Amino acid sequence: MADGLNVGCKPREELHKLVTALRARLQLDLELNRAIPASYLKKGEGVKKVCLPERGQNRTEPAVGPGQSLPDVRATLGDCQRCPLCKTRTNLVFGEGNIQAGVVFVGEAPGADEDMQGRPFVGKAGQLLTRIIVAMGLQRQDVYICNILKCRPPGNRNPKPEEIAACEPFLIRQLQAIGPKVICALGTFAAHALLKTDVPISLLRGRFHSYQGIPLMPTYHPAYLLRNPGAKKQVWEDVQQVMKAL
């Protein structure tokens, strides 16, 4: 499903996904003026630093390095045209909240309300997320909220692997910029994309996993809770663990 590299895929599809993911990753590395990782190079080639012109020297993207700030990541994303979702979106939804948040909530993708307002989790599911955050003793402005995809999939369909591959590098940079103590992945797509697994959310939730050394708690998506209120108890157990870790 959300995992772009399913073993059961046909070889052509698999190759297409790999190339899309690799192209997005290399593109971002170039944009962020990062060294090309040694693993991308042929043996003996050595690590070369890719240098783009500095700010004001004819460059179209802002000059940002490995420790880029959230505004730098936003500036690099720009008026993103990296995948076809740009054609159907009203607003790109980057994310919002405390740039030094202890906890980052990562959802799936903007819905209709978020697409209209350019803000994450502002519809019915978002209102429930806000109530969960308040129940944790926090305010929305204390935490950071973002999504795997920055643009709404038409009709709220599931994100496609190639859309996740194109957008994910920006989420990675957001998480690096914030450096939270804990990440809370909301729902299947967020958990699968961040943990690179296909294990059902029902089995992932309830315990911490590691995302780049940061404790990550997968839990049910608030939209799922709206349809299955009985699962609120489990989400409450999950966020209590997040509170303890904070």
Residues within the interface to ligand URA (CB under 6 A): 107-111, 114, 120-121, 123, 125-126, 147, 223
Q: Phi, psi at residue 80, to the nearest 5°? A: -55, 130
Of 164 and 223, CB closest to ligand URA: 223
The rounded distance, in Å, linking the Cα atoms of 111 and 126 is 10
- Decide: 62 and 76 in contact? Cβ < 8 Å: yes
Closest by Cα among 21, 46, 43 to 35 = 46
What phi and psi, each to the nearest 5 degrees, are found at residue 90? -95, -50
Residue closer to ligand URA by CB (options 61, 117) is 117
CB of 13 to ligand URA, least distance (A): 25
72/114 with CB nearer ligand URA: 114
Give residue number: closest CB to ligand URA.
107
Minimal distance, residue 114 CB to ligand URA, in Å: 4
- Kindly give the pairing relationship between strand 144-147 and strand 209-211: unpaired
Q: Which is nearer to ligand URA, 31 or 159 (CB)?
A: 159
> Mapping DSSP to helix (H, G, I), strand (E, B) and coil, where does residue 218 land?
strand
- Distance of closest approach, residue 41 Cβ to ligand URA, in angstroms: 37
Q: How far is the CB of 212 from ligand URA (least distance, A)?
A: 21
Q: What is the DSSP letter of 182?
A: E
